[in-house]
Amino acid sequence: MNTAYRNFFASITGKRKGRKVAPPRLRSRKDNRQAIRFTRNARFRVLDNGRLRLPKIGDLHVRWSRQLPAEPSSVTVIRDAAGRYFASFVVQVDDSPLPPVASEVGIDLGLTHFAVLSDGTKVAAPKFLRRAARKLRRLQQDLSRKAKGSANRKKAVVKVARAHARVADTRRDWQHKLSTRIVRENQAVYVEDLCVVGLGRTRLAKSVHDAGWASFVGMLEYKAARAGRIFGKINRFAPTSQTCSACGRLDGPKPLSVRSWTCPCGIIHDRDVNAAKNVLAQGRWDNSNACGAQVRPAPVPAPRREAGIHPGAARCSTRSAEGILVL
């Protein structure tokens, strides 16, 4: 709570950058999520038979998704709204860089096609929430007909939570596979810095949240850092859809209904592929510009002996032929 209020006051006073942070809220009585954390001092153990021993609980059967690469320092047991239990371990591992490759890619994210790569590859949007909308609507209707506080209503709540969890897990698994493949096949990955919060307030909000752009970009960023790849975000205001990737001509804004256009130089552009090529070119330009470092030198305060007015300095100084002061 102390951290939440500190961030809130820093946000409203302008000390915290980014969007405004709201004050902390009381936890809802309808929130069925629970979590407990055990540190090394709690003496939890991972037994040789694959079970997890927790203090005051006992040995638990665990369905391992992977082997632990190192000795865990803590474990968090999480119960989600669907009634599933997860054990999350904290371990320290070293990054394993992948062998370098020559290819680089720019990615243009969208709704019709989830991702369009600069090499012309188009990844169709799976639309997991849209596909499960019919089942979710039926479960929500069944939930609304149950009496509040009854046992049947609690069962209906769990069914709705499981349906939403299935959609989220499917989306997350698909994004993991796609992001891993992109990072492995390319030495540098560049994407556009989209304002997902702003797009989530438009009439396309449901489709934007169904796409999950923010989580996908986050996966690309941390996987590229682990694999030793280059990752960059270009400015969201860059006119990637208005610029010809061949001649660099700025052709002006176009409505979303225009999917292809012809540049005066004679090249016919696919809107999304052309935008992805411009994302790649802009990302390369930003990366080659002092490797992302500060180009303009930072201001340096003048030494005390040079600051202020020195009346006697004119008598002990002369000027060279070029007009430069020489002491």
Cα atoms in the 13 Å half-sphere on the side-chain side of 61: 0
Q: Tell me, what amino acid is at 185?
A: E
CA separation for the pair 238, 240 (Å, rounded): 6
Six-digit token string for 222: 């941390």
User: Is 192 among the catalytic positions?
Assistant: yes
CA distance linking residue 39 with residue 256, whole number of Å? 52
DSSP 204-221: THHHHHHHTHHHHHHHHH
Residue type, 184: R
Catalytically annotated residue among 104, 108, 210, 221: 108
| Cβ contacts of 317 within 8 Å, gap of 6 or more | 325, 326, 327
- Asked about 272 being catalytic, the answer comes back as yes
**Candidates 142, 251, 272, 322; catalytic one:** 272
Question: In residues, how long is the chain?
Answer: 327
Q: Which of 104, 192, 210, 221 is catalytic?
A: 192
d(CA 297, CA 231): 24
Q: Is 11 helix (H, G, I), strand (E, B) or coil?
A: helix
* Residue 183: Cβ-neighbour burial (10 angstroms; 0-12, 13-18, 19+): buried
Active site residues: 108, 192, 272
